[in-house]
Amino acid sequence: MNNKIQNIVIAGGGTAGWMAAAAFSKLLGKNLKITLVESDEIATVGVGEATIPPIRTFHKLLGIDEQELMRITNATFKLGVGFENWGQEGKNYIHSFGATGKECWAGEFHHFWLHGLRNGINADFGDYCYELQAAKAQKFALSKNTPINYAYHLDATIYAKYLREFSENLGVTRIEGKIQQVSKDHKSGNISSLTLASGQVINGDFFIDCTGFRGLLIEQALHTGFDDWSHWLPCDSAIAVQTKTISDPIPYTRSIAHKNGWQWKIPLQNRVGNGLVFCSKYCSDEEALNTLTKNIEGDILTEPRVIKFNTGRRRKGWNKNCVALGLSAGFIEPLESTSIHLIMSGIIRLLRLFPFDGIYQSAIDEYNNKLDSELNAVRDFIILHYKVTQREDSDFWLHCKNMDIPPSLAHKIQLFKDTGRVFLDDGDIFRVDSWTQVMIGQGIMPTQYHKIADIMNEKELNHFMSSLKASIANAVENLPSHADFIQQYCKSNS
Ligand code: FAD
């Protein structure tokens, strides 16, 4: 397969397609001819509005101006996800993007916190995290002196449009039309061209499949195969609706567990994105709609829309001369807003391995091996939220509580219970702090802590913990409200 690759074709123009077009045109536009095909007849999935912090690095790489992007996409700041009723009904916690406390070389902060608890310092783990406290207080500011780790809530449709304009300005050719046939080279099995309903044939050397759940190239043409993860991630449906904003936007995503699934609330400047993720085995579409409409505020702006999905992943992200990005590569769960991140990391990996001088199996293997590690780590982190619940109020939660889980996750939970230790696996996009925030937040209390925490005597520990907590409270006190900061930094016109 060692022919020069000069002509890339991106199939599909949702978030995945336009993110890929933007990155490739910005960084490799001088070396490659880039064409994107999308069909106005086939809608994008229309959800996917919460992100995680590395998206900022992606935008920096592209030279995107944050304030302009936020104004145009009606974006708000996101400091984490607030989980309500997950561990138990009535119990809430926030998984924030911030670091909790201060680390030391041998033991993370949670060991000091556990030591403090035994000494009668009864503060929440989250009291020692700046981002978490700012989220709770609904405050936000950007400052050089006190860095804050954040992501965005943004309008997915406008985001794709913004990236489209960005890419077209950099020379990407957009072709509107429905792909009807994917042709392959008989000898190599590589994809050679796409034929549109109009009869137009689009030839390419390398194809990026961004056609959404259909996986028109990666699955329907290349038969790559799909690993189904629904035995670990049983939700297979969502119902989405947008509502009018009735109060100031909060700087975090709300994830509210219900009897048969969970609800998201994503605050934008001009509206709120709402949805219920549920499992069709335990809940009908009608019941889901009922639950959702009972739990939203503000006038409904859009017709409620049901979206069906299978949790799992394409067996290979890169197969022959095709890489799948976005929903065509698989879907884990929107719970921790990882899908857009996975699109971005797939793009970066492909940029780094791009086969200018022909496709080598070693490059394909490297891409797929790294993807495997990344997906397994994300999968385990998402399953953790479902598995570590004490809820028994429905068959759905009983199933989650009692289900088998991947051995890698079972080990991680057991290690934390037994020793208080957390080690990250290769490819984990979350931090030790993320794992501890969720495990502690959902009620796991380790039986011991690392004795490095005993380095401080009782007096020193008291002083360390109370001054840390006070300095965070003080910094948060001095922040403007999230709404005020948006007003002066990136107020949208709509
Ligand atoms: P799509 O948006 O489905 O786009 C597919 C494109 O392919 C369209 O342009 C379509 O026209 C084109 N196409 C398809 N077939 C053809 C054809 N035959 N001919 C021509 N063109 C074709 N991700 C997050 O990061 N954060 C979240 O908060 C989040 N929430 C989600 C909630 C739900 C319920 C779901 C289901 C997903 C969520 N996601 C989230 C995932 C996120 O929505 C997607 O990763 C993202 O939108 C990318 O989608 P896509 O571009 O792969 O596919």
Q: 264-305: per-residue pLDDT in tens?
A: 999 999 999 999 999 999 999 999 999 999 999 999 999 999
Among 103, 82, 127, smallest CA distance to 475 is for 127
- Looking at every residue in the chain, the average pLDDT score rounds to 96
**Does the beta carbon of 179 sit less than 6 angstroms from any atom of ligand 1?**
yes
pLDDT of residue 121: 95
Identify the three-state secondary structure at position 406. coil
Is residue 141 within 6 Å of ligand 1 at its C-beta?
A: no
Q: Is the pLDDT of residue 2 over 80?
A: no
pLDDT at 178 over 60: yes
- CA-based diameter of the chain, in Å? 79
User: How much is the pLDDT for 3?
Assistant: 82
Rounded distance from Cα 214 to ligand 1 centre (Å): 10
Q: Which atom of ligand 1 is closest in space to residue 42's alpha carbon?
A: 11
Neighbours of 121 (CB within 10 A): 18
| Banded model confidence at residue 403, pLDDT cuts 50, 70, 90 | very high
Check pLDDT > 90 for residue 179: yes
Query: Is the CB–ligand 1 distance for residue 329 below 6 Å?
Result: no
Q: How far is the CA of 274 from the centre of ligand 1 (A)?
A: 17
Q: Is the CB of 216 under 6 A from ligand 1?
A: yes
| Ligand 1 closest atom vs CA 343 | 45
Report pLDDT for 494: 78
Q: What is the pLDDT of residues 190-249, one digit of tens each?
A: 999 999 999 999 999 999 999 999 999 999 999 999 999 999 999 999 999 999 999 999
User: Percent of the chain scored above 90 by pLDDT?
Assistant: 96
Ligand 1 center to residue 330 CA distance, Å?
Answer: 11
Task: Out of 21-35, 99-113, 131-145, 430-444, pick the least confident.
Answer: 99-113
> Could you tell which of 40, 41, 47, 213 is best to mutate to test the pocket of ligand 1, judged by most ligand atoms within 8 Å of the CB?
47
Q: Which residues are known catalytic residues?
A: 78
Contacts of 301 (CB under 8 A, 6+ apart): 241, 242, 243, 244, 271
Mean pLDDT computed over 6-33: 97
Residue 106's pLDDT band, with cuts at 50, 70 and 90, is low
Ligand 1: residue whose CA is nearest its atom 14: 211
pLDDT given for residue 402 in this prediction: 97
- Take atom 43 of ligand 1 and give the residue whose Cα is closest: 48
Range 28-47 average pLDDT = 95
Q: What is the mean pLDDT of residues 401-407?
A: 98
Whether the predicted pLDDT of 1 surpasses 80: no
In the sheet that 179-184 helps form, which strands lie side by side, from edge to edge? 179-184, 191-196, 201-203
What is the pLDDT, as a whole number, of residue 105? 62
Average pLDDT over residues 410-417: 98
Label residue 249 exposed, middle or buried (CB < 10 Å: 0-12, 13-18, 19+).
buried
pLDDT in the model for residue 204: 98
Q: What is the arithmetic mean of pLDDT over 160-180?
A: 98
Average pLDDT over residues 368-394: 98
Token pair of 477 as six digits: 């006190």
Spacing, Cα 424 to ligand 1 middle (Å)? 29
Residue nearest to atom 12 of ligand 1 (CA): 12
Taking CB atoms within 8 Å and a gap of at least 24, the contacts of 117-122 are 119/458, 119/461, 119/462, 121/461, 121/462, 121/465, 121/466
Q: Whose CA is nearest to atom 6 of ligand 1?
A: 12
Q: Among 152, 157, 193, 211, which residue has the most ligand 1 atoms within 8 Å of its CB, making it the best to mutate? A: 211
pLDDT at 107 (0 to 100): 76
Which of 19, 42, 52 has the most ligand 1 atoms within 8 A of CB, as the residue to mutate? 42
How far is the centre of ligand 1, averaged over its atoms, from the C-alpha of 237 (Å)? 14
The reported pLDDT for the residue numbered 493 is 84
Task: Tell me the average pLDDT across 311-337.
Answer: 97
Q: What is the distance in A from the centroid of ligand 1 to the CA of 116?
A: 46
With a cut of 90, say whether residue 102 has pLDDT above it: no
C-beta of 333 in contact with ligand 1 (< 6 A): no
Rounded CA gap, 339 and 345, in Å?
Answer: 10
Q: Residue 300 pairs with which residues in a beta bridge? A: 243
Instruction: Determine whether the shortest distance from the Cβ of 334 to ligand 1 is under 6 A.
Output: yes
Q: Is 17 in the pocket of ligand 1 (CB under 6 A)?
A: yes
